[in-house]
């Protein structure tokens, strides 16, 4: 079999590039990881993703692709071995895609904003984040398997994985609580199981460095968000 060249451009603390790494590692796909400094973008990154100038970017046999959710689907369609990331049933697939977007566009956006702001802006963002978390909690409760993908990690677990590890860091940095374990038992239990998975556990950025990084981001973005 001809060797397949896979490269992933990422950033050490980006939940977006890390979720793509998780997918590649779960599937056992070899790839070259290229660390990009997103604050000092290389000409390579700007060439490969001129539209958004962001990581992650996946290059497979010279084919260049971007946008993490799109990359997860590409990976699943190209490397058909286990774990199958997207559900087989079309209705379940549509639900996975739907909830991935809810988590990204509502919970992630509002949580990050709440972390970076103060006063009324923070209160509003916090409220919206909690509302989103409550909807996700309902979905978590409805799922009675080990992961959202079933017995193995799937697309929705990867899409929401940041909740298990980045969100607690943001809560600490922002001196706030969004996913209170007593109010969100299903999400909390899922988070523990997710982080306990050997592939995930071994592919997380160091927490102490994350705290430093996000404290810095909070300071810089403070007035702008």
Partner 1 sequence: MANTSSTTDVKVLGAWPSPFVIRVRIALNIKSVKYEFLEETFGSKSQLLLQSNPVHKKIPVFIHGGKPIAESLIIVQYIDEVWSSGPSILPSDPYDRAIARFWAAYVDDKFFPPLRLIKSAQGEEKAALVKQVTEGLDLLEEAFQKSSKGKAFFGGDRIGYLDIAFGSTLGWLRATENMGEVKLLDGAKTPGLVLWAESFCADGAVKGLIPETEKLVEFAKLLAARMKGGAPPKQ
Write out the residues near partner 1 by the rule CB under 8 A: 51, 60, 63, 65-67, 70-71, 73-74, 77-78, 90-91, 93-95, 97-98, 101-102, 135
Q: How far is the CB of 156 from partner 1 (least distance, A)?
A: 13
Q: How far is the CB of 97 from partner 1 (least distance, A)?
A: 5
Q: Which is nearer to partner 1, 137 or 210 (CB)?
A: 137
Which position has the token pair 């497979």?
60
Contacts (Cβ under 8 Å, ≥6 apart) of 49: 9, 55, 57, 64, 66
Q: How far is the CB of 166 from partner 1 (least distance, A)?
A: 21
Q: Which is nearer to partner 1, 25 or 97 (CB)?
A: 97
Q: Which is nearer to partner 1, 66 or 126 (CB)?
A: 66
Q: How far is the CB of 111 from partner 1 (least distance, A)?
A: 17
CA distance linking residue 33 with residue 9, whole number of Å:
6
Q: Which is nearer to partner 1, 179 or 200 (CB)?
A: 179
Distances (CA, A) of 25 to 3, 32, 57, 109, 202: 17, 12, 16, 27, 10
CB burial of 80-119 (b: ≥16 within 10 Å; e: otherwise) equals eeebebbbeeeeeeebbbebbebbbebbbebbbbbbbbee
Q: If we measure between CA atoms, which residue out of 9, 103, 100 comes closest to residue 59? A: 9
Torsion angle in degrees (nearest 10) through CA of 94, 85, 70, 49: 170
Q: Which is nearer to partner 1, 54 or 197 (CB)?
A: 54
Q: How far is the CB of 219 from partner 1 (least distance, A)?
A: 28
Q: How far is the CB of 202 from partner 1 (least distance, A)?
A: 27
Order across the sheet with 6-10: list the strands. 32-35, 6-10, 57-60, 63-66
Q: Which is nearer to partner 1, 134 or 172 (CB)?
A: 134
């Amino acid at each position: 079999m001809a060797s397949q060249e896979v490269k992933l451009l990422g950033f050490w603390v980006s939940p977006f590039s890390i979720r793509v790494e998780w997918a590649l590692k779960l599937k056992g796909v070899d790839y070259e990881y290229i660390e990009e400094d997103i604050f000092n973008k290389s000409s390579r990154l700007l060439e490969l993703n001129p539209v958004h100038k962001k990581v992650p970017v996946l290059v497979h046999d010279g084919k260049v692709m971007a946008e993490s959710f799109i990359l997860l689907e590409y990976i699943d369609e190209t490397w058909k071995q286990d774990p199958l990331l997207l559900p087989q049933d079309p209705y379940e697939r549509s639900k996975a895609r739907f909830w991935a977007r809810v988590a990204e566009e509502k919970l992630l956006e509002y949580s990050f904003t709440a972390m970076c702001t103060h006063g009324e802006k923070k209160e509003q963002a916090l409220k919206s984040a909690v509302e989103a978390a409550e909807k996700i909690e309902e979905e978590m409760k409805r799922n009675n398997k080990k992961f959202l993908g079933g017995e193995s990690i799937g697309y929705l677990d990867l899409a929401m994985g940041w909740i298990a590890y980045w969100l607690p860091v943001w809560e600490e940095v922002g001196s706030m609580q969004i996913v209170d374990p007593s109010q969100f038992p299903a999400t909390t239990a899922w988070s523990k199981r997710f982080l306990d998975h050997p592939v995930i556990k071994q592919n997380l950025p160091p927490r102490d460095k994350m705290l430093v990084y996000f404290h810095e981001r909070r300071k810089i973005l403070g007035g702008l968000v």
